[in-house]
């Protein structure tokens, strides 16, 4: 059995570098939680470039976006001297364990992953790659290779963490205790931030009209929020089923101002949606403006960014390599030199 020396729980998560800027849902649903989990946990966070190529990417843009994503994680508050912050493709054990885990996964089981269904439906199934189909299994390997206890993500990733649990248990049963079975760490209040133009769907980089991109100019962010779709009433009330647009704005405002959503809602008694939108925009900009400035500063020093990436990759590999070695041994592979 692989045991860890320290009793500190380990958390692991990742984000795709598929757009120049993170959208608000990425931050509120996941990265904000990564920051708080640094304390009391052994934290591993990564830019998942291998996941990004499941859909076509322009190489020059991808290169820029990897650096931008790495810088944004730091700008959001992840300290690379506290957490292990790295780029997925710098650690080859992910793809190596990914193959092993593909061989543990049933075709039907992989077919049930809703993200594949959504994403392939958007691009047309003829264009969906096999990589897009098997990508949840690479995610399984991402998590298991670090023996993570917790995976801080938004609601849309829950199914992938459940698959990780199933495959970890299956492998442990078949080959002996090898993997820690991880739990999803999902913050209920911000698990799903909704699209500003269509509050029935989640905010997503691939639906840019209803998303707020944190690196956009303050004027653009403000305009986006002020034109959010609400409803035909005028009362500000937190009621996600009946008033999804207004409730989404309340969630965003409450989170950025560290208040309870009901308290925020009550403070708009007698005021209209205009006031709520203006205050939400102001709260988002108060976070986004210094965030963008810090990202510019970090990406302005590529040598330092690359140094941080290399340090992160070395720390990550030191954990991932022994897990893979144990897995290969359990499978019956013969080690180089027979050792």
By annotation, the residues acting in catalysis are 119, 202, 205
> Would you say 154 or 199 has its CB closer to ligand TYM?
154
Residues 43 and 84: beta-carbon distance below 8 Å: yes
Question: At closest approach, how far in Å is the CB of 24 from ligand TYM?
Answer: 8
Alpha helices (H) along the chain: 24-26, 32-37, 49-52, 59-75, 93-102, 107-111, 114-123, 130-144, 158-175, 218-226, 244-256, 261-266, 273-299, 302-331
Residues 6+ apart with CB under 8 A from 167: 101, 104, 105, 137, 140, 144
The residues facing 151 across adjacent strands are: 184
Q: Rounded to an integer, what distance in angstroms lies between the CA atom of residue 234 and that of residue 269?
A: 10
> Would you say 29 or 244 has its CB closer to ligand TYM?
29
Which of 119, 173, 162 lies closest to 137, judged by CA? 162
Question: At closest approach, how far in Å is the CB of 66 from ligand TYM?
Answer: 13
> Would you say 65 or 222 has its CB closer to ligand TYM?
65
DSSP 277-298: HHHHHHHHHHHHHHHHHHHHHH
Q: Rounded to an integer, what distance in angstroms lies between the CA atom of residue 29 and that of residue 14?
A: 12
Taking CB atoms, the residue at the shortest distance from ligand TYM is: 29
Question: At closest approach, how far in Å is the CB of 234 from ligand TYM?
Answer: 26
Residues 103 and 141: beta-carbon distance below 8 Å: no
Q: Which residues bind ligand TYM (CB under 6 A)?
A: 12-16, 25-26, 29-30, 48, 51, 139, 142-143, 151, 153-154, 156-157, 191-193, 202-204
> Would you say 80 or 154 has its CB closer to ligand TYM?
154
Measured between alpha carbons, how far is residue 94 from residues 32, 49, 126, 152, 187 in Å? 25, 11, 27, 18, 26
Question: At closest approach, how far in Å is the CB of 46 from ligand TYM?
Answer: 7
Question: At closest approach, how far in Å is the CB of 227 from ligand TYM?
Answer: 18
Which of 238, 239, 241 lies closest to 259, judged by CA? 238
Which of 2, 11, 5, 15 lies closest to 40, judged by CA? 11
> Would you say 203 or 225 has its CB closer to ligand TYM?
203
Question: At closest approach, how far in Å is the CB of 311 from ligand TYM?
Answer: 20
Q: Rounded to an integer, what distance in angstroms lies between the CA atom of residue 251 and that of residue 190?
A: 7
Question: At closest approach, how far in Å is the CB of 229 from ligand TYM?
Answer: 15
> Would you say 118 or 282 has its CB closer to ligand TYM?
118
> Would you say 149 or 156 has its CB closer to ligand TYM?
156
- Say if residue 31 is exposed, middle or buried (CB neighbours under 10 Å; 0-12, 13-18, 19+): buried
């Amino acid at each position: 059995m692989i045991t860890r020396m320290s009793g500190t729980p380990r958390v692991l998560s990742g984000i795709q570098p598929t757009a120049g800027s993170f959208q608000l849902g990425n931050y509120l649903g996941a990265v904000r939680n990564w920051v708080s989990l640094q304390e009391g946990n052994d934290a591993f966070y990564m830019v998942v470039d291998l996941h990004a190529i499941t859909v076509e990417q322009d190489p020059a843009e991808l290169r820029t976006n990897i650096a931008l994503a790495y810088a944004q994680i730091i700008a959001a508050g992840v300290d690379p001297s506290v957490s292990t912050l790295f780029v997925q493709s710098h650690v080859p054990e992910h793809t190596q364990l990914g193959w092993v885990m593909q061989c543990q996964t049933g075709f039907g089981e992989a077919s049930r992953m809703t993200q594949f269904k959504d994403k392939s439906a958007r691009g047309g199934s003829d264009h969906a790659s096999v990589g897009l189909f098997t990508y949840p299994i690479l995610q399984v390997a991402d998590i298991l290779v670090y023996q993570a206890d917790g995976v801080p993500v938004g609601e849309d990733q829950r199914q992938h963490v459940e698959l990780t649990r199933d495959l970890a248990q299956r492998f442990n049963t078949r080959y002996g205790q090898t993997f820690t079975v991880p739990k999803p760490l999902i913050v209920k209040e911000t698990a799903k931030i909704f699209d500003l133009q269509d509050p029935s769907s989640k905010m997503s980089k691939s639906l840019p009209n209803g998303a707020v991109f944190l690196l956009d100019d303050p004027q653009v962010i403000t305009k986006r929020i002020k034109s959010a779709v609400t409803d035909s009433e005028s009362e500000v009330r937190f009621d996600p089923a009946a008033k999804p647009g207004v409730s989404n704005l309340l969630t965003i405002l409450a989170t950025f101002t560290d208040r309870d959503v009901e308290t925020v809602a009550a403070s708009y008694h007698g005021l209209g949606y205009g006031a709520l939108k203006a205050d939400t925009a102001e709260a988002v900009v108060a976070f986004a403006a210094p965030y963008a400035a810090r990202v510019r500063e970090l990406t302005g020093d590529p040598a330092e960014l690359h140094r941080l990436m290399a340090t992160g990759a070395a720390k990550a590999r030191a954990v991932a390599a022994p897990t893979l070695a144990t897995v290969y041994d359990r499978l019956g592979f013969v080690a180089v030199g027979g050792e």
